Structure 1
């Protein structure tokens, strides 16, 4: 396998950072600056990096409050499955993760990633800012030793394939790639798909070689990975309101002063709206380009009602305990 340029340097950088505890609470040039590592899995051009993580870093670093944020994009400090363990251990200070990845540490949070649980980003934000969302964050902190600072919109997730997908029946016989997590595999079953787990890094090649027939991701991610080159149709199923949680090790949080906490929290929360706009602007621009070029085919007449009804029936019948209660609360709060 050909090594990507810079991969060795990234690994060495990660090792150096982890060996020193990611510089958390270490002195800076002035002998008293708190340095926080902020990791993620996105490239520098992804909206979450340039319109979210970097915005937070710039906002905090631009204030004279004794805090410096160092960002580590593109999985420099580990992939999604390992980075959160590093945050819990205190080796990485801050991270951006989907709730399905976090559900291994606290199962109820995985509800945020369930198919058709939310009716879009407004519904997601309203829930997250309300009483139930606050309770979920508190329970998550107790269970994991990490604090959720806020939720960011990742984009609506859609199916791509080499054929149109308008109804759940159109998924029959297609090997659809889903991330290897219980929540996503449940989503596949909920909408009637046949899931195949493939590493994200191998997605393009797997589609090109027809090991799989299709996949699901937000539009900016599909474009960023050039998946439209190996897929003829992008079907606007909007089957998941993609979200990402900004988390911080709670010990690090407690070590910050009240002023520093307030500044960090404000920077993360203030970035939410701009990050969403960046995601949605990118999506609109990409779709307009695809329509202009005539490929891939954009399938807009998707029967989302049929998909959503199938998913709700599945989750209502299969979820249990606190997770089932949280799911019902979310659906009851739909506008």
Structure 2
């Protein structure tokens, strides 16, 4: 069963971001939207974007198309987001922690141990603090967040050392996304954070530049990390939404009807990606174990306690009381 609940009544503010009025005509000119991202060609997100491209082409009779550029073909994640901001790239998809580099309040959506399931994440999107942060990103930073995709629950992988409690992380060189929240999380846990693009991770693990990384099981599988990692430590520390971001320049150039076509196409793509991620999380543990990967039951309660200083550090940036309000949704 898909992790994506019914959307009726959800994300009303996010839809308003995409449907804001302008002077564009009801139907715009032919256009090809370029969608750059870091995910591998065979990955769930790439397949979701491919579905979105199909839907967009079908809905517009081929007048609007979407070109899919996986595997960091157009640059590292932050480079592509800068291109979106400048209007030279139409779309990218990323985690809230990375977007927090531009508007810190958005990073709360990728805070450790915030959400219990993806339905809760979807409810969070309508919180006034989140909607305000999204408007700030759109109006001041040139990037419009759209409805989130499910990316899975993140676990830590390591080559030589199992991680059962936070103390086991001391001194480990751990890859993290290029996002301040992840860097701070690893430092608080005693590891040495090493930010890098997803496309660089396999070789860095293989050569010992880093000792481990953290990602959901489908991403670990798609990037073949178990070829160079022995342990998957089931920390389950973050339930991840991915946010497609549309360039404000592109948004302004699209007719109102075409904005709706893009939104619907991305929703259809999300349904495909979400389903594949959900199925992968259910099935991959057996597949990986059969190949020799060792699964470690980490003490999640101990990790939650160890990260208390992180929540205190980000309280002002997120807004006082917002973390507790989101947890309670």
* Alignment partners' CA distance in 2, 1:193 and 1:269: 37
The superposition leaves residues 246-266 of structure 1 with CA deviations (integer Å, 9 ceiling, x where unpaired) of 111123212222221112112
Aligned to 2:15: none
Aligned twin of 1:238: 236
Large movers: runs of 4+ above 6 Å = none
The answer for unaligned runs of 5 or more in structure 1 is: 1-30
| 1:306 aligned residue (273, 297, 302) | 302
* Residues 151, 274 of structure 2: 8 Å contact kept: yes
In 2, Cα distance between equivalents of 1:226 and 1:267: 29
Q: Does 1:271 align with 2:269?
A: yes
Residue in structure 2 matched with residue 226 of structure 1 by the alignment: 224
Displacement after TM superposition at 1:212 (Å): 2.9
- After the TM superposition, which residues 50-89 of structure 1 pair with which residues of structure 2 at under 5 Å, given as runs? 50=47, 52-64=48-60, 66-89=63-86
Q: Kindly indicate whether structure 1 or structure 2 has the higher relative contact order, using CA contacts under 8 Å at least 6 residues apart.
A: 2
| CA RMSD after TM alignment | 2.3
Give the Cα–Cα distance (whole angstroms) in 2 for the partners of residues 33 and 278 of structure 1: 31
Instruction: Specify whether residues 320 and 64 from structure 1 end up closer, same or farther in structure 2 by C-alpha distance, changes over 3 A only.
Output: closer
Counterpart contact for 1:127–1:333, Cα < 8 Å: no
Show structure 2 runs of 5+ residues with no match.
1-27
In structure 2, distance between residues paired with 1:152 and 1:326: 26
Query: In the aligned structure 1, how far is the partner of 2:127 from the partner of 2:271?
Result: 17
Checking the alignment, whether the CA contact within 8 Å between 1:117 and 1:330 is kept in structure 2 is no
Cα distance in 1 for residues equivalent to 2:93 and 2:167: 35
Matched ranges for 1:254-293 at <5 A: 254-293=252-291
User: Which residue in 1 is equivalent to 2:170?
Assistant: 172
Query: Where in structure 2 are the equivalents of 1:320-335 lying within 5 Å?
Result: 320-325=315-320, 327-329=322-324, 331-333=326-328
After the TM superposition, which residues 1-335 of structure 1 pair with which residues of structure 2 at under 5 Å, given as runs?
Answer: 32-50=29-47, 52-64=48-60, 66-161=63-158, 162-198=160-196, 200-293=198-291, 295-299=292-296, 301-311=297-307, 313-325=308-320, 327-329=322-324, 331-333=326-328
| Matched residue count | 300
Distance 1:151 1:325, change over 3 A: farther
Q: Is the 8 A contact 2:72 2:199 kept in 1?
A: no
* Separation (CA, whole Å) in 2 of partners of 1:72 and 1:119: 32
SS in 1 for 2:147: strand
Q: Deviations over 1:288-327 (max 9, x none)?
A: 212233x11112x32212212322x113321242424375
- 1:39-96 Cα deviation digits (max 9, x unpaired): 212222110010x211111111012363222222222222202111111111111111
TM-score (norm 1): 0.81
C-alpha spacing 1:268/1:330, structure 2 compared with 1 (3 Å): farther
Normalising to structure 2: TM-score of the pair?
Answer: 0.82
